[in-house]
Structure 1
Amino acid sequence: MTELLRLDDVACIRGDRLLFEGLSLALNRGEALWLRGPNGAGKSSLIRLAAGLLRPAAGTALRRERVALIDEAAALDAELPLRRALDFWARVDTVDGHSVDRAMDVMALAPLAEVPVAMLSTGQRKRAAMVRVIASGAPIWLLDEPANGMDEAAQARLVAAIARHRANGGAVMLASHFALGVPDLAELDMGALA
């Protein structure tokens, strides 16, 4: 297996609070890691650290490939129609419109292409964020609570997208309060690190 992401002896401090220290892990092609634990255990901080948005207080984080991230913000212009908002990210990620079309089909959002992002429900916004991740073509997916607000059908689409990504050599780090039914999922209990 080819390693896509490695964290060596990392520590994370937010404010005055040490969330975790001495954490080492590797994520290889085809693997998925579920970060679980109570609120405040450091799941989101670890995702942000892995993405390079947060510096470790100690240790090193190495990403060998591009990263796509979902966090609490959809990062889509709320005033634009969904398709135009997604096209902005396609240009940033240097992918063509066909990638966006395919990803919208995967997440069943094509019928909402002309709806302003501001008018989407919470679950639809999460699906839209997932479209952005899928269309990016990034080998490393960092997904922070990606199923929040999703109904069962949308969650099934999310799980299927994760399976396809892994089958194609991608890797996934998933922070969630539940496993989503993703098969062959390694677990890291963030609550045990505190």
Structure 2
Amino acid sequence: MQAALTATGLVCRRGDRLLWGPLDLAVRPGQALHLTGPNGIGKTSMLRIAAGLLRPMAGQVERDGSFALLDGAVALDEQQALGTALAFWQRLDPAAMPLERLGLDQLLDVPVRYLSTGQRKRAGLARLIGQGARHWLLDEPLNALDDAGVALVEALIAERQAAGGAVIVASHQPIRLCDAAVLDLRTHAA
């Protein structure tokens, strides 16, 4: 089975500081990879490299299939009602967003600027799912979520994996992942 994401010889630098590398990895469809390490080690940079949004200092990444990234930037118009803001993205990425399941169906008339941090995280999850990408890259997906929200994220990840999607998660918090490998970036720190 071909890997969803293969990285060879990756080296990551922030400014003049070498963060980690060289690094080789392969994540196959249906597998999860949990990126760990202290703040500033380059977990978010690793996800951005995997998404193709950041160039590594050295090495290469090969992707098989579509990838979607959930990070701290939800990219919703703060002045719009949540329903209007999500509808904008739905016109671009027409996959269904499970608004009721995410607890957003009662918030569609609320301006985005009034949403709590946890509600914004759920809106980000709606956007992620709405992209219809096969594989997910998740940066701190449990931040600001209550116990029910954490359980929901873990269930969504398990469902994505069961459907053949690879999931790479950067998280400081414990998270239940099926068939997960753990990559502590400290073991590759410069």
| TM-score with structure 2 setting the length | 0.94
1:87 Cα offset (Å): 1.9
CA RMSD of aligned residues (A): 1.3
Could you give the per-residue CA deviations for residues 83-106 of structure 1, whole angstroms, max 9, x where no partner exists? 22122222222x15xx02xx2123
Q: Distance in 2 between matches of 1:19 and 1:105?
A: 41
Counterpart of 1:3? 3
- 2:41 — aligned with what? 41
CA distance in 2, matches of 1:60, 1:32: 20
1:154 pairs with 124, 138, 149, which one?
149
**Aligned equivalent of 2:117:** 122
Residue by residue over 1:155-177, the C-alpha shift from the partner in whole angstroms, topping out at 9 and shown as x without a partner, is 11110100111111111000000
**Shift of residue 127, structure 1, vs aligned partner:** 0.9
Asked if the contact 2:22–2:188 (Cα under 8 Å) also holds between the matched residues in 1, the reply is no
Shift in Å at residue 151 of structure 1? Answer: 0.5
Q: Which residue of 2 aligns with 1:163?
A: 158
The farther-off stretch of 65-74 and 168-177 is 65-74
What letter corresponds to residue 108 of structure 1 in structure 2?
G
- The residue number in structure 2 matching 1:133 is 128
**How far is 1:131 from its partner?**
0.9
Instruction: Give the corresponding residue for 2:75.
Output: 75
Measured in 1, the distance between the counterparts of 2:92 and 2:21 equals: 34
1:22-41 alignment, distance < 5 Å: 22-41=22-41
Query: What one-letter code is carried by the residue in structure 2 that aligns with 1:165?
Result: R
Call closer, same or farther: CA 1:88–1:2 in 2, change over 3 Å.
Answer: farther
What SS is found at the alignment partner of 1:53?
coil
Write the distance in 1 (CA, Å) between the matches of 2:103 and 2:18: 41
CA contact (8 A) 1:139 1:171 kept: yes
User: Separation in 1 of the partners of 2:128 and 2:29?
Assistant: 17
Q: Counterpart of 1:65?
A: 65
| Higher helix proportion (structure 1 or 2) | 1
Secondary structure, counterpart of 1:49 in structure 2: helix
Task: Tell me which residue corresponds to 1:181.
Answer: 176
1:3 is paired with a residue of what secondary structure? coil
Per-residue CA distance 1:139-186 (angstroms, 9 max, x = gap): 110000111100010111110100111111111000000232223321
CA contact (8 A) 1:89 1:132 kept: yes
* 1:87-102 pair list within 5 angstroms: 87-93=87-93, 95-96=94-95, 99-100=96-97
Deviation at 1:114, TM superposition (A): 1.4
TM-score by length of structure 1 reads 0.93
Identity %, equivalent residues: 49
The letter for the 1-side match of 2:64 is R
Report the 3-state secondary structure (helix = DSSP H, G, I; strand = E; otherwise coil) of the residue aligned with 1:108. Answer: coil
Q: Can you give the 5+ residue segments of structure 1 that lack an aligned partner in the other structure?
A: none
